[in-house]
Structure 1
Amino acid sequence: MKKAKVLFVSQEITPFLEVTEVSNIARRLPQGVQERGKEIRTFMPRFGVINERRNQLHEVIRLSGMNLIIDESDHPLIIKVASIQSARMQVYFIDNEEYFQRKNVFRDAKKKFHKDNEDRMVFFCRGVLETVKKLGWAPDVIHCHGWMTSLIPFFVKTGYKDDPMFRNSRIVYSSYLQDMEENFTPNLVKKLKMDGVTPDDLKLYKEPSMANVHLAAMKLSDGIVRGCDTKHSALDTYLKKTNKPVLQYSPFDDDGNFVGACSDFYDELLENEPALVD
């Protein structure tokens, strides 16, 4: 029986960024899943606060060099990679001078949410999928961590749905409910347009609040993991009503219980047909 391939996409991974609930899980879960016999690939943005020399990042020339068109503008895609030797895993970084060279992550020096975070989100999610295509590595499961990955389910189920690399992929979304007070702009809908995306698909983002972006990711996923124990009425209501598999929140533990639960969750999804949007 072939190894299941699991693609992990996260907005944060330690030790490259400070330790948070997201970055800790996104660092330890792939290692644990790999140790349980699955094949993994891991992606994150190459934020400007990441020290390339200390973390030994280097550009992958064969994967770099393409441009992504977002809202009728070209944006060069640069791919870098680094190893976490203790975990025997590599991390691929999506980079672009305009979006990821600034010396902060989601907020500026005055703690203001970056105005172009929606552009960075679109670029990152499409950049991951295009890089996976170049790798020629078809994931059985794609597990997304955090709002910056929330468009992966949308693109896989729309613009990339007929691509043989993703046609049979199951999508898992972990929502950590960060930055819930923020909103994206009405222009987000325009930036999501690409071949294969219909006007009906875009209706999910008619009101692009952070809550609705999370909700759209859940609706488009095949399975959902509660990434934190924070409550939110609209999202909690959806999770109670959905017929999709939901893995309830549990803190990451050193006994491997969370890793084992996620690995079993992936196996369950692969045994069933892909979920419909509900």
Structure 2
Amino acid sequence: MAGLNIVVAASEVVGFAKTGGLADVAGALPQALAARGHRVTVIMPYYRTVRTGKNPPARTDHVIAVPVGSRKLACRLYGGTLPGSTVPVLFVDAPEYFDRDEPALGRGLYQQTMSGGYKSDYPDNAERYTFFCRAVVEAVAALGAAPDVIHANDWQTGLVPAFVKELLRSRPGFATVRTVFTIHNIAYQGMFGPDVMRLTGLPGWLFTPPLLEYHGHLNFMKAGIVFADAVNTVSPTYSREIQTAEFGCGLEGLLRANQHKLSGIVNGVDYALWNPATDALLPVRYDAETVFEQKPKCKAELQRRLGLPVDASRPVLGMVARLVIQKGVDLVLSASPGFLDLGCQIVFLGEGDPEYHNELQQFKARYPQQVGLYLGFDESLAHLVEAGSDLFLMPSRYEPCGLNQLYSLKYGTPPVVHMTGGLADTVVNATQESIDAGTGTGFGFGEYTAHALYETVKWALHLSRDRPAAFGEVVTTAMRQDWSWARSAADYEGLYRRVML
């Protein structure tokens, strides 16, 4: 079967600019698709982070004219490749929109840190990503060969399917281009005032409730859902959950109306980066055959690095997450006194809401011998937490897919998860029945309460202490799971081919 010509549009890509899981997907999926014989090109903004990186992109001869409202901006495309691959990446150079991120000064890709410590969206985000969406279409046209599929990701590229349908397909040679839109997190929709319609250059009659208008606003996420030929989320369970009022964030009715083109594909893991058998960031490496001999050495190093007593008998509970309410930080803080009573040490790595920073700092100050804390992000420490913890805490209120639970499976650190979204699709709860069947890979709870989390951890620790053979079976079963991008890429290929029929 002939390979496809695929363009992946994303606002962030790992290796160049990253705030979350979207970047991981945009960096790994194209490589997995290329390995299946497809021609893939990635398009992203030329942020300052990219410009000042170790391998800055090269200038190309392509200069595109991008209309934004009454203006038309000329911008050059720069070119590079995804790290460790030959997959091409095109960077849209528009300094007034993208040359501003400076982490040391509190300026990120989408937000800036204000004087009170809270983060605020850039006031021109609507214009920035309207421009980027239109630039994607103009870049595709400039390349000449029409792609089979343009794959847009999250609200920052939500207008791409609308631009393709209303503008690109009318150009000679581009009538057959199809679009896929992936919802990575429906809570972030890109909703702006009606004046943004003027910036898009799209016909005013599209600003109606069945199409672009959403309660008087222009909603980028809605645009992607309405205009794309196929819509998917990053797990099957999440694709069902977002059709309900509890998880749909106001778009549940629209999603139910479009369920004929809605599906879910679980994200993959880049095992070249996340594999304890080859992980250069660990003090020792191990696999399913050597985990019980070598993993305790990672635990000891984690305890040392975070200033905790090195004690093999104390269970270590690890958490690596954005410190926001979605990730269940409130549950962990509520249940933590109970965890300490069970003899645990707890380690936290992440950053987020200032109130959680304060609570965690106070918690650490009260229990310095049992609580390890790193506010911020450190890649090597993230790997060490995965390898050195006995259990990994991921009690998310909701979780479109999640990646840390997949890392934890591979690292032999059974995840403790709230059974929602992608967590429910990837973790098999280690009940007595699943342990007997040899299928349990982690520990899950259904009711979103601190008590349920505590009882689940207590059960896991009971197995670890009193039934080590059963717990060991959970560990090795988890490590043998395959959540590689190869399987996810096969599912995406099937989705692309269906929209081309």
How many residue pairs were aligned? 266
Deviations 1:14-70 (A, max 9, x none): 01123621111111111111111111111011112224451231221x202x43231
Cα distance in 1 between the residues matched to 2:263 and 2:216:
24
1:63 aligns to what SS in structure 2? strand
1:247 aligned residue: 263
1:205 aligned residue: 212
Cα offset, 1:85, TM superposition? 4.9
1:63 aligns with 2:59: no
Which of these two proteins has the greater Rg computed from alpha carbons? Answer: 2
Q: 1:209 to 1:41 in 2, by over 3 A?
A: farther
Cα distance in 1 between the residues matched to 2:4 and 2:36:
10
Q: 1:209 to 1:223 in 2, by over 3 A?
A: farther
Contact 2:133–2:160 (Cα < 8 Å) also in 1: yes
Q: 1:24 to 1:221 in 2, by over 3 A?
A: same
1:43 aligned residue: 43
2:48 aligns to what SS in structure 1? coil
1:107 aligned residue: 111
Cα distance in 1 between the residues matched to 2:86 and 2:264:
28
Greater Cα offset, 216-225 or 204-213: 204-213
1:257 aligns with 2:487: yes
Cα offset, 1:257, TM superposition? 1.9
Which sections of structure 2, spanning at least 5 residues, go unmatched? 102-107, 269-482
Alignment TM-score, normalising by the size of structure 1: 0.86
2:392 aligned residue: none
Cα offset, 1:216, TM superposition? 2.0
Cα offset, 1:223, TM superposition? 0.5
1:42 aligns to what SS in structure 2? strand
1:122 aligns with 2:120: no
Where does 1:113-192 land on structure 2 (aligned, <5 Å)? 113-177=121-185, 180=188, 183-192=191-200
Q: 1:148 to 1:192 in 2, by over 3 A?
A: same
Contact 2:42–2:89 (Cα < 8 Å) also in 1: yes
Cα distance in 2 between the residues matched to 1:119 and 1:182:
11
1:26 aligns with 2:30: no
1:77 aligned residue: 75
Cα offset, 1:240, TM superposition? 3.0
1:8 aligns to what SS in structure 2? strand
Cα offset, 1:174, TM superposition? 0.4
Paired amino acid for 2:62: L
2:496 aligned residue: 266
Q: Which has the higher contact order (CA 8 A, sep 6+)?
A: 1
More helix, by proportion = 2
Cα offset, 1:157, TM superposition? 1.0
Alignment TM-score, normalising by the size of structure 2: 0.50
Cα distance in 1 between the residues matched to 2:194 and 2:159:
15
Could you say what the CA RMSD is over the residues aligned between the two structures, in angstroms? 2.4
Moved over 4 A (4+): 208-211
Matched residues, percent identical? Answer: 22
